Structure 1
Amino acid sequence: MTGLLSMLNPGWLLIAVGLGALFLPVRRVRQGLTIAAPIIAILLISVADRNVNLLTGHALGIEMILYRVDNLSYIFGLAFLLAALLNAIYAWHTDDRLQDGMSIAYAGAAVAATFSGDMMTLFVFWELTAITSVFLILRAGTRAAYFASMRYLGVQILSGVLLLAGIGYVYQSRGDLSISAFTSLNEPGALLVFIALGIKAAFPFLHNWLQDSYPKATVVGAVVLSAFTTKLAVYAFARMFPGHDALIWIGAVMTVFPVFFAVIENDLRKVLAYSLNNQVGFMICAIGLGTAGVGNALALNGASAHAFCHIIYKGLLFMSMGAVLYRTGTTKASELGGLYKSMPWTTIFCIIGAMSISAFPLFSGFAAKSLTMSAVGKEGYTIVWLMLLFASAGVLEHSGIKIPYFAFFGHDSGKRVKEAPFNMLLAMGLASFICIAVGVPAIVPGFGYEWLYNLLPYREEAMAYHPFTLDHILTQMQLLVLAIFAFVMLKRLGWYPPEKPGVVLDSDWLYRKAGYGMATWTGTVWQKVGPAMSAIFFKLTGRAYERIEDTFSPRGELARGGLASGMAIWTAILLGLVLLLSFITTG
Structure 2
Amino acid sequence: MIDLYQINPGLWVILAGLVCALMPANSLRKVLAIAAPVFAAVMIFNIYDNTEVLAGQFEIGGVTLTTLRIDNLSVVWGYLFCLAGLINAIYALHEKSWITDSSALVYTGAAIAGVLAGDMLTLFLFWELTAISSVFLVWQGGQHAYAAGVRYLVIQVLSGVLLLAGAVIYAGSKGGDFTFGYIGLDAPGAWLLLIAMGIKAGFPMLHMWMQDAYPKASITGTVILASFTTKFAIYALARAFPGTDLLIWIGCAMTMFPVFFAVIENDLRRVLSFSLNNQLGFMVAGIGIGTTMAMNGVVGQVFVHVIFKGLLFMSIGAVMYRTGTAKASELGGLFRSMPYTTVLCLIGAGSIAAFPMLAAFVTKSMILTAALEEHLWIPFAMMLFASAGVMEHSGIKVPHFTFFAHDSGRRVKEAPWNMLVAMSLAAVLCIVLAWPWGGYQLLYSIMPYETDYSPYTWDHVVFQLQLLFAAIFAFTLLKRYKFYPAERRAEIVDADILYRRVGKSIAIWGDAVWTRLSVRMKSLRAKTAGHIGRRLYHAFSPAGALSHAAPSGLSSVLIAAVLILVLIFAYVAGT
> TM-score when scaled to structure 2?
0.89
The equivalent of 1:104 in structure 2 is 105
Q: What is the CA distance between 1:3 and its match in structure 2?
A: 7.5
Matched, 1:313 2:308: yes
Tell me which of 477, 482, 490 is aligned to 2:465.
477
The equivalent of 2:14 in structure 1 is 15
Tell me which of 420, 424, 432 is aligned to 1:425.
420
Matched, 1:379 2:374: yes
In structure 2, give the amino acid aligned to 1:100: D
In structure 1, give the amino acid aligned to 2:387: S
In structure 2, give the amino acid aligned to 1:254: M
Q: Which sections of structure 1, spanning at least 5 residues, go unmatched?
A: 290-294, 540-587
> Matched residue of 2:159: which SS?
helix
The 8 Å contact of residues 231 and 302 in structure 2, kept in 1 or not, is answered as: yes
The 5 Å alignment of 1:202-221 reads 202-221=202-221
Whole-angstrom distance in 2 between the partners of 1:52 and 1:141: 43
Q: What is the CA distance between 1:503 and its match in structure 2?
A: 2.3
Whole-angstrom distance in 1 between the partners of 2:79 and 2:493: 37
The equivalent of 1:564 in structure 2 is none
The equivalent of 2:239 in structure 1 is 239
**Quick check: 70-79 or 327-336, which moved more?**
70-79
Matched, 1:152 2:152: yes
Whole-angstrom distance in 2 between the partners of 1:97 and 1:528: 46
Q: What is the CA distance between 1:449 and its match in structure 2?
A: 0.3
Whole-angstrom distance in 2 between the partners of 1:469 and 1:214: 38
C-alpha distance after superposition, 1:300-353 (max 9, x if no partner): 111110000000000000000110010000000000001111101100110000
> Matched residue of 1:275: which SS?
helix
Tell me which of 328, 344, 347 is aligned to 2:342.
347
The equivalent of 1:51 in structure 2 is 52
Matched, 1:438 2:433: yes
The equivalent of 2:568 in structure 1 is none
The 8 Å contact of residues 11 and 110 in structure 2, kept in 1 or not, is answered as: yes
Whole-angstrom distance in 2 between the partners of 1:12 and 1:522: 45
Whole-angstrom distance in 2 between the partners of 1:16 and 1:83: 18
Q: What is the CA distance between 1:208 and its match in structure 2?
A: 0.7
Tell me which of 329, 334, 345 is aligned to 1:334.
329
The equivalent of 1:521 in structure 2 is 509
The equivalent of 1:40 in structure 2 is 39
Matched, 1:367 2:365: no
The 8 Å contact of residues 267 and 491 in structure 2, kept in 1 or not, is answered as: no
Q: What is the CA distance between 1:46 and its match in structure 2?
A: 1.7
In the alignment of these two chains, the number of paired residues is 523
Whole-angstrom distance in 1 between the partners of 2:241 and 2:129: 23
Whole-angstrom distance in 2 between the partners of 1:322 and 1:13: 29
Q: What is the CA distance between 1:40 and its match in structure 2?
A: 1.6
Q: What is the CA distance between 1:157 and its match in structure 2?
A: 0.5
Q: What is the CA distance between 1:5 and its match in structure 2?
A: 3.0
Whole-angstrom distance in 1 between the partners of 2:506 and 2:15: 45
Matched, 1:30 2:17: no
The equivalent of 1:140 in structure 2 is 141
C-alpha distance after superposition, 1:72-93 (max 9, x if no partner): 1011111111000000000111
The equivalent of 2:557 in structure 1 is none
Q: What is the CA distance between 1:170 and its match in structure 2?
A: 1.3
RMSD: 1.5
> Matched residue of 1:71: which SS?
coil
The 8 Å contact of residues 267 and 326 in structure 2, kept in 1 or not, is answered as: yes
C-alpha distance after superposition, 1:465-517 (max 9, x if no partner): 11111111111111001000000000000000011201213111122111221
C-alpha distance after superposition, 1:253-280 (max 9, x if no partner): 0000000000000000000000000000
Tell me which of 443, 446, 449 is aligned to 1:452.
443
Q: What is the CA distance between 1:532 and its match in structure 2?
A: 4.7
In structure 2, give the amino acid aligned to 1:473: V
Whole-angstrom distance in 2 between the partners of 1:126 and 1:247: 21
Tell me which of 471, 490, 500 is aligned to 1:512.
500
Label 1:327 to 1:116 Cα distance change in 2 as closer, same or farther (>3 A). same
In structure 1, give the amino acid aligned to 2:300: A
Q: What is the CA distance between 1:225 and its match in structure 2?
A: 0.2
Q: What is the CA distance between 1:8 and its match in structure 2?
A: 2.6
Matched, 1:497 2:485: yes
C-alpha distance after superposition, 1:418-458 (max 9, x if no partner): 000000000000000000000111x2xxx300000000011
> Matched residue of 2:363: which SS?
helix
Tell me which of 271, 285, 291 is aligned to 1:296.
291
Q: What is the CA distance between 1:148 and its match in structure 2?
A: 0.3
> Matched residue of 2:47: which SS?
coil
In structure 1, give the amino acid aligned to 2:459: D
Whole-angstrom distance in 1 between the partners of 2:187 and 2:27: 51
Identity %: 52
The 5 Å alignment of 1:149-228 reads 149-175=149-175, 176-183=177-184, 185-228=185-228
Whole-angstrom distance in 2 between the partners of 1:34 and 1:110: 15
Q: Which sections of structure 2, spanning at least 5 residues, go unmatched?
A: 529-575
In structure 1, give the amino acid aligned to 2:366: L
Whole-angstrom distance in 1 between the partners of 2:434 and 2:61: 48
Whole-angstrom distance in 2 between the partners of 1:23 and 1:530: 48
The equivalent of 1:121 in structure 2 is 122
Whole-angstrom distance in 2 between the partners of 1:401 and 1:243: 34
Q: What is the CA distance between 1:533 and its match in structure 2?
A: 7.1
Matched, 1:466 2:465: no
> Matched residue of 1:270: which SS?
helix
Q: If you compute each CA radius of gyration, which structure gives the higher value, 1 or 2?
A: 2
Tell me which of 343, 353, 358 is aligned to 2:353.
358
> TM-score when scaled to structure 1?
0.87
**Quick check: 419-428 or 171-180, which moved more?**
171-180
> Matched residue of 1:180: which SS?
coil
The equivalent of 1:561 in structure 2 is none
